[in-house]
Amino acid sequence: MSPSIEKVFANDLEDYILELSKKAIYNILDQEAFDLYLEKKWFPSQLNGIKSESILSVNLIGQIRTYTNLSVLFLDENEVPVEKQIQVKLAGRMRVFIAKIDFDRGITFKPEDIQESWIALQPNFEKSMMQLNDLIGFESNKAIKAGKIIYPHNVIAPTIVKKGQSIQLYKKQWDANFNNPSIKWNSTTTKRTYKGTVSTGTFVSLGEKSIKHIRNVDFEPIEIFAHIRDHTNDPKKAHLYVKNEVIRMIKEKDPKSNTRGPNMKEMNEEGFYICTNNGGPNKKWSYDEVKFRKTWALNDTHKFTYHACYTDVNDKSTLMFVAYLKL
């Protein structure tokens, strides 16, 4: 084989791995919010010369960042499964929301005052990801000039209840069976949007059958969880329990699998664990919210998702780690 043909083959293999890497990333990110192209940052020498049909899978390792790590599972020349780590650089565009008017501190974001735009992918873009529902009905925590990007750290929950009003508002919602969107009410199971007060999507409001219908899935994932109270209040022990169970169950299904299991989640300055939860905002998540999204991002190649969450998002002692598997 001539050197020129070898080079073409190498480029084809590289493009194939990059395409599989992009699919793995889009399993997590919202494809409507990102227009990505990937560049090779580092591939191990063991990938040189293998055939594209020898690639079994490409899976994400850790967080999605400008420089993202993935694992490539392939068959070597002896048909033995081998897993090697690669690193790719993400480039392209990301969707952002622009202020159409000047916002003072405490002003509520409305659809007519915001416009969608696209900008080049920024460093630390994972901290800028935001959906429209994370914005509408919430308030600015600082002055924002027209034409400027609205970032997640510019957005706070609205001040909707004044002293002495809470009981009256709750009674109104109770009388309305919590279906009156005109009543401004926030809780762990409701949120404010431009449509009014709506459910965040708990099992009480939707039900297991309704959730399956909304996501249009035909499988029920396996749930593995560990509450820190059952592991001497040690987050690392709880995490390791879930990680080891994920690895064990995947290997029982596929003995050749080289999965390393989920990575430990990050803790913020306040001592809470935060994550994006299948493309959602980077924040503290309640167990109800995580369970509502339990089938998101699961497919035949992306076998499990992993989450840090709380039964009470204001209480660190209610921390639990949860994994969902499609086997």
Q: Which residue has the tokens 């027209």?
A: 146
Same structural domain for residues 242 and 312? yes
Which of 59, 76, 93 terminates a domain? The answer is 93
Same structural domain for residues 114 and 186? yes
Percentage of the chain exceeding pLDDT 90: 21
What radius of gyration, in Å, describes the C-alpha atoms of the chain? 23
CATH number reported for the structural domain that contains residue 154 in this entry: 3.90.1210.10
Same structural domain for residues 122 and 184? yes
Which of 179, 205, 231 terminates a domain? The answer is 205
How far is CA 181 from each of CA 19, 131, 193, 199, rounded to the nearest angstrom?
44, 21, 9, 10
Same structural domain for residues 105 and 29? no
- 68 three-state secondary structure: strand
Give, in degrees to the nearest 5, the angle at Cα 215 between 324 and 71: 45
Percentage of the chain exceeding pLDDT 70: 77
Contacts of 160 by beta carbon, 8 Å cutoff, 6+ apart: 184, 185, 186, 192
In angstroms, rounded to a whole number, what is the distance separating the alpha carbons of residues 16 and 53? 10
Same structural domain for residues 15 and 59? yes
- Evaluate if residue 283 carries a pLDDT over 90: no
Same structural domain for residues 108 and 144? yes
Same structural domain for residues 88 and 100? no
Same structural domain for residues 111 and 33? no
pLDDT of amino acid 282: 75
Same structural domain for residues 245 and 201? no
| Number of domains, the chain | 3
Highest-confidence segment of 92-106, 176-190, 236-250, 268-282: 92-106
Residue closest to 260 by CA, chosen among 277, 272, 246, 278: 246
Measured from the Cβ of residue 61, the count of other Cβ atoms closer than 10 Å reads: 15
Over residues 59-76, the pLDDT tens digits come to 988 888 889 999 999 988
Measured from the Cβ of residue 78, the count of other Cβ atoms closer than 10 Å reads: 6
Same structural domain for residues 238 and 291? yes
The strand pair at 139-140 and 155-156 is best described as: antiparallel
Which of 43, 61, 93 terminates a domain? The answer is 93
Same structural domain for residues 104 and 77? no
Tell me which residue range forms the domain holding 289. 214-325
Same structural domain for residues 102 and 11? no
pLDDT of amino acid 5: 29
Over residues 203-241, the pLDDT tens digits come to 444 444 333 334 445 678 888 888 888 888 888 888 888
